[in-house]
Chains A and B, each alone.
Chain A
Amino acid sequence: GDSVTQMEGPVTLSEEAFLTINCTYTATGYPSLFWYVQYPGEGLQLLLKATKADDKGSNKGFEATYRKETTSFHLEKGSVQVSDSAVYFCALSEGGSYIPTFGRGTSLIVHP
């Protein structure tokens, strides 16, 4: 079945550092790919998405590019802030379904 694999956390960075969170996927078709973020005490929020190969999703300084050849959708940000501390989930959905299948999540901790 479809699945998503994320790098294990926690990822601990200093403010203004460069962030990469790796995500790879396995799917039978051509899925849509997502990054969700969960801030402490809050619900999951969609951060960005890409629906086809080579698409780049971006939001709040975060970016991820849909790489079909490497089945990857790595999340990047050039300069993280303390307020970016959260758990980040990579997810996919197949076909016309909007129902995501989630990875395990990667905790990001940013120190001042």
Chain B
Amino acid sequence: EAGVAQSPRYKIIEKRQSVAFWCNPISGHATLYWYQQILGQGPKLLIQFQNNGVVDDSQLPKDRFSAERLKGVDSTLKIQPAKLEDSAVYLCASSLKGGMNFGPGTRLTVT
């Protein structure tokens, strides 16, 4: 089976600009997650979707971050406007019944 796909793999933007990341989960996986992994730290959960509904977004900085999962399949994560401290790898993961599958991540550099 194909794994979790993410794009772009790398993105460099200036602070105050906007950026969007895309995730295509494994077919049939109802649950989708976005994690933020800052260099030298473990991944931190930002948001969890069950189908197209949000289950947990308590760690999402809602003043600048937004995410959606239309039709319960693909998902996008947006940052507007970006800050220097948003430089990180953004990981998408999906699961069916436990057992999370992670994508390769998008490395964001904010200058």
Contact = CB atoms under 8 A, between A and B. Distances in A.
Contact of B104 (A42, A46, A105): A42
B41 A104 contact: yes
Interface residues of B, number: 21
Interface in B8-35: 33
B40 A46 contact: no
B4 to A, nearest CB: 7
Contact of B105 (A43, A45, A103): A43
Contact of B99 (A4, A44, A46, A101): A46
B3 A43 contact: yes
Nearest to A6: B42
Interface residues of A, number: 17
A44 B33 contact: no
Contact of B42 (A4, A43, A46, A98): A4
B61 interface: no
B100 interface: yes
8 contacts: A4-B42, A44-B43, A98-B100, A99-B33, A102-B42, A103-B42, A104-B42, A105-B41
- The 8 tightest CB contacts between A and B, nearest first, are A102-B42, A43-B102, A44-B102, A98-B98, A43-B104, A43-B103, A102-B43, A104-B42
